[in-house]
């Protein structure tokens, strides 16, 4: 499927032709540029990778919640220690993916 990028805001439209106006910023059709195969492929790959990072971030947040429950449960010092360490690792995992996605956005690998 062809991809057209709004020159005004960067919105990427998937379709056989550019939309009449940008759904994001309202720019007219003539503001859309057809992406070549390499750029289209990069968009697809970026969408996939960004979705994976979003999934990792969501799972890390779930892990944090589980660890918080475990810390609050406070069965014994060993459990609290494991949950505390695991929560810190979940936070780090979340931050790693967030930073990578932030880098993608800065390079236009989003949309
Ligand atoms: Fe736009």
| pLDDT band with cut points at 50, 70 and 90 for residue 107 | confident
Domains of the chain, by residue range, sit at 1-35, 44-111
* Residue range 54-93, pLDDT digits in tens: 999 999 999 999 999 999 999 999 999 999 999 999 999 9
Q: Where is average pLDDT lowest: 13-22, 35-44, 64-73, 77-86?
A: 35-44
Rounded distance from Cα 21 to ligand 1 centre (Å) = 8
Positive or negative: CA dihedral 12, 13, 18, 24: negative
**Cα–Cα dist 78/75, whole Å:** 8
Rounded distance from Cα 12 to ligand 1 centre (Å) = 8
Tell me which of 61 and 111 has the higher pLDDT: 61
Rounded distance from Cα 6 to ligand 1 centre (Å) = 5
CATH class of the domain at 1-35: mainly beta
Rounded distance from Cα 14 to ligand 1 centre (Å) = 13
Q: What is the mean pLDDT of the segment spanning 47-57?
A: 96
């Amino acid at each position: 499927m062809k991809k057209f990028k709004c020159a005004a805001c960067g919105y990427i439209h998937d379709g056989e032709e550019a939309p009449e106006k940008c759904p994001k910023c309202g720019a007219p059709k003539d503001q859309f540029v057809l992406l070549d195969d390499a750029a289209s492929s990069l968009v697809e790959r970026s969408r996939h990778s960004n979705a994976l990072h979003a999934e990792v971030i969501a799972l890390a947040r779930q892990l944090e919640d589980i660890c918080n429950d475990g810390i609050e449960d406070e069965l014994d010092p060993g459990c609290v220690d494991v949950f505390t360490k695991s929560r810190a690792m979940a936070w780090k995992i979340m931050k790693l993916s967030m930073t990578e996605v932030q880098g993608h956005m800065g390079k236009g690998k989003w949309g």
